[in-house]
Structure 1
């Protein structure tokens, strides 16, 4: 009898600390997500309306889509090719249900909601690749500190960029696991997510191209098993590029249009300002990211975030030196660099 009592008391003594720890971790995660919400909603504390001109542009296109006029921008009064069609189509239904005025007011809360979803995706992504609960929560806190700005945009604004952030981290998880585990299912899912990203906000997809090309190089077994498939894909892309050079759109070759949308020179934005990534991320945050990068270099769990960070920072550095940005506008690249550094 005494032995049974001892075993019960021992079990209780073990369970209680575990429950306390679980509650603490949940509380910290909720606090981190609350920080994401407040950080994104901060500009609207005194202004319940959208702030950025880009927000009004996208709101106008969403409302036009809800009224049966897709690919139409009422500000310029003409139809155009919509590169963010999924973003506009998705929010068209809420706009139709709520009506113009209420949807415009509601749109001020959407970035904060998306910031919370992005924080959850970061937490899920890091836990999925094997990081500890504490590491994942600290990365969410780091993400909450990433600055938004009128030039670089960010999570504070209702634009396609903010809607694409969750999918970036979901893509990185499935792609990394697909490559590291040579898993066709995960690779297929990552391809579908990449296509979705491209339809939400093309720069959020194209900025991942260096990661897609570089990450598999660290996995020799993957390259050996997929050599023929990768060679076939490379040949297909070359043939597609050659064919696009023959296709004409508005008197211009499709290939030249593609290049113009992948190469952004100084003056692309209405207001050009060069940034220091360490200052944008804050000096303490950068120091922590450098420490994280040092350990990530020998840890395949974080390798994909390290590669993504290096590629974005490198593109930003090239623009600062040569006034040319590749794959995405410099302003967006600066923001991508910040969010890629957060998980480090």
Structure 2
């Protein structure tokens, strides 16, 4: 009996035990799928917190409905529940956005619902995939791709993810969504056109791979050093001419060297910063810390997610409300904390 057959037998045994009321067996049955379900729900919902809630609800519903489970694939069954749960949530709320989504549009009268960053540590499950599937999994959590997804109607979003990211056939997707193959194919064509217009043609995964670890560490060191020394000219010199800078939950955002320089004159030039390397959405990121006299320490100021174009920065999205411990970063830095010179050799870069 080969490894695949052995695995199938183990799943069948766990499923039988779970159906008999064994909660531990059910937990073992679904545990290998929990992280990838979370990533799927994040792509659908644009929020780590909403994704966690959707996955927990999915598993609760699956446990309660286990006696009605007839599909041969537990994975497909859970994706069916998770996708439909996400669609229900999306029907109740507006899409999540970035400040740059309001370019050419009126600023909303009510507070916008913002896209959230996704910690790379939650993608550890993807290392077990083959190289092609791993690349697709990583690229599909990049911020620009997830932001583009938010501009799709919910069912188009689901079809695109099930077909192009998860690799389900048209018939399987139609079954998961209780629709027809014709409807799936039509939705997929429309969704691909919209995403192609909004997502970059070259992924950050490809750019980071082409840079290599040493060059990436040097870009990170230079960028952090420029901020920590308050060198506005050095920061601007690292930006592309059409660079954009936004800071959700603030609506305002900046584009091009002149606008960004004006913003940085106060933000970087008159304050004391420390940057720590991080990874979120498969991209270069920094936890940022601002000196606080009352605390006599550097306190969290946000998570900066960078879009690189070669060795230059094309976009910065600074998530001011991000909780840095979720990205394996400390909640404060002491007065003697080292600066950007200790980036070499740090994990994650």
Shorter chain as normaliser: what TM range?
Answer: under 0.3
Which structure is higher in strand share?
2
Which structure is higher in helix share?
1
Per the normalisation by structure 1, the TM-score is 0.23
Per the normalisation by structure 2, the TM-score is 0.23
Greater relative contact order (CA < 8 Å, ≥ 6 in sequence): 1
